[in-house]
């Protein structure tokens, strides 16, 4: 099913941010079937349980992709499926969302810990703050943040915290190195959540993959600049033989 792309959303904001991108992609190629798949609801903080649920629910032999957290999950699932996955694309996704000694190009542990604690105290306020961070760097940042927050589903604080714990635990470097299919990783030039240095670090780790940059764009570039992101994805799919 090389004409089918599954997209996984980021943390907390639901599927709505990916809808403009899906529409833009299908406008470029009416043969392409784009499916936005909600994040797992396994009730677990173990990444393996999330991947088990995705693996059971998603069709095989499709392109896997995702925005931010969703891209990290897509990378892990692509590696698990190996030749049963057509290819991988990630959008504003870091190999590690939280910094590690050998991967400093990420959010600091202190900042992530404070963010998680904020979610424990007041999940709704934390989601609004996350919307602001996601929109930071956009030309119309405040209106974009309001759009993101307004489209976010009501999610129990427990589920949000489980997602944050999975996000913090993921280190996709091994998966990205193991997956032999085509890969595209798009980054945003003004991303407040994934440092620009992450793109260079990823290219140093995997010099043969395709990496792109949407200049002067926020973390939420899937909403802010959907047509540019879609054009980059469509070119990648075409170059990878999906024509």
Interval 99-123: pLDDT, tens: 999 999 999 999 999 999 999 999 9
pLDDT at res. 2: 80
Q: Write down the catalytic residue from 93, 105, 134, 191.
A: 191
Q: Write down the catalytic residue from 15, 29, 68, 131.
A: 68
pLDDT at res. 243: 43
Regions in the chain scoring below 70 on pLDDT = 1, 241-243
Q: Can 68 be counted among the known catalytic residues?
A: yes
Q: Can 238 be counted among the known catalytic residues?
A: no
pLDDT at res. 1: 53
The residue extents of the domains of the chain are: 4-239
And the tokens for 148? 């993101």
Q: Can 208 be counted among the known catalytic residues?
A: no
Q: Write down the catalytic residue from 105, 218, 219, 240.
A: 219
What architecture is the 4-239 domain classified under in CATH? Answer: 3-Layer(aba) Sandwich (3.40)
Q: pTM value?
A: 0.96
């Amino acid at each position: 099913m090389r004409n089918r792309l599954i997209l996984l959303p980021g943390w907390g904001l639901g599927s709505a941010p990916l809808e403009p991108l899906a529409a833009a992609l299908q406008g470029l190629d009416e043969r392409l079937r784009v499916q936005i798949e909600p994040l797992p609801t396994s009730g677990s903080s173990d990444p393996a349980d999330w991947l088990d649920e995705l693996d059971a629910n998603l069709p095989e032999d499709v392109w896997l992709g995702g925005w931010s957290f969703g891209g990290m999950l897509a990378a892990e699932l692509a590696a698990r499926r190996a030749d049963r996955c057509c290819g991988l694309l990630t959008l504003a996704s870091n190999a590690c969302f939280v910094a590690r000694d050998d991967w400093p190009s990420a959010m600091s542990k202190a900042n992530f810990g404070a963010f998680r604690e904020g979610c424990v105290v007041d999940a709704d306020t934390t989601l609004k703050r996350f919307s602001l961070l996601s929109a930071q760097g956009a030309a119309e940042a405040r209106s974009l943040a309001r759009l993101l927050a307004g489209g976010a589903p009501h999610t129990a604080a427990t589920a949000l915290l489980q997602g944050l714990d999975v996000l913090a635990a993921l280190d996709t470097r091994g998966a990205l190195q193991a997956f032999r299919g085509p890969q595209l990783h798009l980054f945003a030039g003004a991303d407040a959540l994934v440092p620009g240095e992450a793109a260079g670090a990823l290219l140093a780790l995997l010099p043969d993959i395709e990496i792109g940059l949407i200049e002067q764009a926020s973390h939420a570039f899937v909403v802010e600049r959907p047509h540019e992101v879609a054009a980059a994805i469509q070119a990648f799919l075409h170059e990878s033989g999906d024509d």
